[in-house]
C-alpha cells in the first residue's frame, strides 16, 4: 500500500509505476483500518479514498471525506521506530537540544503556484492535544525542544495562541514555518514567551514581480516587517528562497540580492532552492502558460520522477536558452552572496551548466 502527496495527485499513475495493491487517496488513518479489515477477502470496493486494480483496470472508490477533527487521532506510534530516527540534537536552530519533529496542523489555504500543498483545508489540533503529545515525548525521550514541520503553522492566530498558552509551562524551545504576512508583534511575543526560538519564513524572492507571479501575495515590506518584529520578540529568523520561477531575470534576481543584503544583519540562516515545477502544483498543471518543457505531462518524458529534486536539479524547465542562461548566472550570483553572508548557516544546491 502506498499514499502521500504524490500518489494523492496521481493515483492511477502510481498504481502503474510501482504496482502496489492499493493507493490511498486523502487522509489515511481511517482508510488504513478499513483496508486491514479486508486484507484477507480483498473486497476493497466499499473502502472510501483508494485506487486499486481490478483485472487490468484501475478503479477509484468514493473520495474520503476529511476528518472533522484531527484532535481525535491517537498520538503517533513513535515507540515503533528506532529512537535515533526520532530524537536528534542537531536540528533545532543552532542549538544542540534534544528535539523531535511534530505537526500541529494539516493543510494550507493559500494559493502559491509553486507549492503542492496549496489550497487545501487547514485543520488544527487543540492546545490540549499538542500538550499531550509534548508531555509524552518529554516523559519517553527527555526532549528539550521540538520543530513544528507544518507547511504553514501560522494561519489562524487564535489556534496558534491556544497552542502557545497550553505549552508555556513545559519550558520547551521550538521552531515553526510561516508566511510573512500572517504574523504580528503581539502574536510573536506570545510565541516567544511559550519557547519559540526560530521562525522560518517563506520569503521566496525580493522581486515584487516574481512574488506576484507566484501568487505568493506578499510584498518586500511584509518581509521587512516580519523579520524586524521577530527579532524584536527575540526569535531568530531563517528565510527560504526559491530562485528561477518562470519570469526570473537579472533584474528580479538583483532585487532579491538587494533585499537580502539589506536584511542580512537580522537574518540567522538562509535556504536557497532552485525552482522546480513540482507535480501537483499550478505551474506543473499549466505547461503552456509558463512555457515549460520536459515535464512529465509533456512529450519526451522518460519516467524519472527523481529529476524533480530541488537541489540536484540540472533541468532547463522553462523559457528560451537565453532566459535559462540569465537564470543560471543569477543563481550563481545569489548562491555566492548567500555563502558569503552566512558561511556556516546556509543551504543551497550546486550551480549548473548553462546549456540545455
**Among 52, 110, 124, 245, contact with ligand SF4 (rule: CB under 6 A):** 110
Q: Residue 20 is placed in which grid cell?
A: 502496489
Strand order in the sheet with 99-102: 99-102, 145-148, 173-178, 196-204, 236-243, 269-274, 346-348
Q: Residue 17 is placed in which grid cell?
A: 509505476
Residue 32 site contact among ligand SF4, ligand B12, none (CB < 5 to 8 Å, cut-off depends on kind):
ligand B12
Q: Is 133 in the site for ligand B12 (CB under 6 A)?
A: no
Query: Which three-class secondary structure state does DSSP give residue 181?
Result: coil
Cα–Cα distance measured from residue 349 to residue 220, given in angstroms and rounded to the nearest whole number: 24
Cα–Cα distance measured from residue 301 to residue 172, given in angstroms and rounded to the nearest whole number: 48
Q: Where in 54-73 is the site for ligand B12 (CB under 6 A)?
A: none
Select the span of 111-119, 235-243, 252-260, 262-270 touching ligand B12 (CB under 6 A): 111-119
Q: Is 112 in the site for ligand SF4 (CB under 6 A)?
A: yes
**Among 25, 51, 108, 218, contact with ligand SF4 (rule: CB under 6 A):** 108
Residue 217 burial (CB count, 10 A): 13
Q: Is 152 in the site for ligand SF4 (CB under 6 A)?
A: yes
* Smaller CB separation from ligand SF4, 180 or 263: 180
Cα–Cα distance measured from residue 107 to residue 5, given in angstroms and rounded to the nearest whole number: 11
Select the span of 11-19, 24-32, 192-200, 314-322 touching ligand B12 (CB under 6 A): 24-32
User: What phi, psi does 237 have (nearest 5°)?
Assistant: -120, 130
With b for 16 or more beta-carbon neighbours within 10 A and e for fewer, the 176-194 pattern comes to: bbbbbbbbeeebbbbbbeb
Q: How far is the CB of 206 from ligand B12 (least distance, A)?
A: 21
**Among 103, 117, 192, 352, contact with ligand SF4 (rule: CB under 6 A):** 117
**Among 42, 79, 193, 311, contact with ligand B12 (rule: CB under 6 A):** 311
Q: Please return the burial class of 260, using the count of CB atoms within 10 Å of its CB with bins 0-12, 13-18 and 19+.
A: buried
Q: Is 24 in the site for ligand B12 (CB under 6 A)?
A: yes
* Smaller CB separation from ligand SF4, 22 or 70: 70
Residue 112 site contact among ligand SF4, ligand B12, none (CB < 5 to 8 Å, cut-off depends on kind):
ligand SF4
Cα–Cα distance measured from residue 103 to residue 303, given in angstroms and rounded to the nearest whole number: 32
Q: Residue 236 is placed in which grid cell?
A: 531568530
Q: What is the DSSP letter of 88?
A: B
Q: How far is the CB of 7 from ligand B12 (least distance, A)?
A: 7
- First vs last C-alpha separation in the chain: 38
Q: Where in 179-238 is the site for ligand SF4 (CB under 6 A)?
A: 179, 202
* Smaller CB separation from ligand SF4, 172 or 223: 223
Letters for 69-108 (x = contact with ligand B12 by CB under 6 A, - = none) are ----------------------------------x-----
Q: Where in 34-53 is the site for ligand SF4 (CB under 6 A)?
A: none
Cα–Cα distance measured from residue 211 to residue 181, given in angstroms and rounded to the nearest whole number: 13
Chain centroid to Cα 285, Å, comes to: 19
Q: Which residues bind ligand B12 (CB under 6 A)?
A: 1-6, 8, 24, 27-29, 31-32, 103, 115-117, 149, 151, 278-280, 309-311
Q: Which residues bind ligand SF4 (CB under 6 A)?
A: 108, 110, 112, 115, 117-118, 151-152, 179, 202
Amino acid at each position: 500500500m502506498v499514499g502521500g502527496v504524490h500518489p494523492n495527485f496521481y493515483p492511477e499513475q502510481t498504481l502503474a509505476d510501482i504496482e502496489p495493491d492499493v493507493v490511498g487517496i486523502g487522509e489515511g488513518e481511517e482508510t488504513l483500518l478499513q483496508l486491514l479489515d479486508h486484507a484477507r477477502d480483498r473486497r476493497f470496493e466499499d473502502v472510501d479514498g483508494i485506487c486499486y486494480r481490478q483485472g487490468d483496470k484501475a478503479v477509484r472508490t468514493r473520495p474520503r471525506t476529511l476528518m472533522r477533527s484531527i484532535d481525535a487521532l491517537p498520538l503517533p506510534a513513535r515507540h515503533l521506530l528506532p529512537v535515533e530516527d526520532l530524537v536528534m540534537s542537531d536540528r533545532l536552530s543552532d542549538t544542540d537540544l534534544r528535539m523531535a519533529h511534530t505537526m500541529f496542523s494539516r493543510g494550507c489555504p493559500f494559493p502559491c503556484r509553486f507549492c503542492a500543498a496549496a489550497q487545501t483545508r487547514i485543520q488544527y489540533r487543540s492546545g490540549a492535544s499538542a500538550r499531550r503529545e509534548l508531555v509524552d515525548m518529554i516523559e519517553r525521550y527527555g526532549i528539550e525542544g521540538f520543530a513544528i514541520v507544518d507547511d504553514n503553522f501560522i494561519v489562524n492566530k487564535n489556534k496558534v495562541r491556544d497552542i502557545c498558552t497550553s505549552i508555556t509551562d513545559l519550558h520547551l524551545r521550538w521552531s515553526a514555518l510561516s508566511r510573512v504576512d500572517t504574523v504580528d508583534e503581539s502574536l510573536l511575543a506570545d510565541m516567544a514567551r511559550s519557547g519559540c526560538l526560530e521562525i522560518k519564513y517563506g520569503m521566496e524572492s525580493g522581486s515584487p514581480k516574481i512574488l506576484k507571479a507566484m501568487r505568493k501575495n506578499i510584498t518586500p515590506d511584509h518581509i521587512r516587517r516580519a523579520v524586524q518584529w521577530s527579532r524584536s520578540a527575540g526569535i531568530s529568523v531563517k528565510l527560504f528562497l526559491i530562485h528561477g520561477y518562470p519570469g526570473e531575470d537579472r533584474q528580479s534576481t538583483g532585487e532579491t540580492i538587494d533585499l537580502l543584503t539589506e536584511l542580512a544583519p537580522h537574518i540567522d540562516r538562509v535556504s536557497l532552492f532552485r525552482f522546480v515545477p513540482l507535480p501537483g502544483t499550478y505551474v506543473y498543471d499549466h505547461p503552456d502558460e509558463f512555457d515549460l518543457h520536459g515535464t512529465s505531462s509533456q512529450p519526451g518524458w522518460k519516467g524519472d520522477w527523481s529529476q524533480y529534486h530541488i537541489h540536484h536539479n540540472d533541468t532547463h524547465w522553462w523559457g528560451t536558452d537565453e532566459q535559462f542562461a540569465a537564470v543560471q548566472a543569477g543563481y550563481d550570483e545569489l548562491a555566492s552572496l548567500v555563502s558569503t553572508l552566512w558561511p556556516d548557516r546556509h543551504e543551497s544546491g550546486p550551480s549548473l551548466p548553462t546549456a540545455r
